[in-house]
Amino acid sequence: MSKVAVVYWSGTGNTEAMAKAIEEGAKSAGAEVSLLEVESFKAATAPEYDGLIFGCPAMGDEVLEEGSFEPVFTDTEKHLSGKPVALFGSYGWGGGAWMESWAERTKGDGAKLFSDGLIVENAPGDAELADCRKLGEDFVKSL
């Protein structure tokens, strides 16, 4: 059984809803899943997981949330080489530049990036939540 962590930060609840749907999909594919708000995740535990799924909305000038998420992700980067990683998040404006930058950064860390990131504009509806469940399921099947 694969062990996966879904680590996220959410300000409005949109990214949290995505995280919960991804968790459902990953569990349906047979993984042991830890759903963790970023403040509860310790970078040193990253090697304990077969795969990591990170979620953060676009903030400010299309960047990752800087108070909680960015420091934890930065600490985790040293553990990403060779690690399967998926990214997701929501945004309220812009075209997804934060996800493109984040995906390139993660590839630069040597991670095995699963897709270029799943993004949802504003609150996820039924179709977007289905996409999230599929991401979780497909990610686990790829491990």
| DSSP per residue, 31-54 | -EEEEEEGGG--GGGGGG-SEEEE
Residue 61: its pLDDT value, please? 81
Report d(CA 94, CA 115) in Å as an integer: 20
**Predicted confidence pLDDT, tens digits, the chain (143 residues):** 999 999 999 999 999 999 999 999 999 999 999 999 999 999 999 999 999 999 999 998 889 999 999 999 999 999 999 999 999 999 988 888 999 999 999 999 999 999 989 999 999 999 999 999 999 999 999 99
Residue 93: its pLDDT value, please? 80
Residue 8: its pLDDT value, please? 98
Domains of the chain: 3-142 (3.40.50.360)
Report d(CA 11, CA 16) in Å as an integer: 8
* 0.95 surpassed by pTM: yes
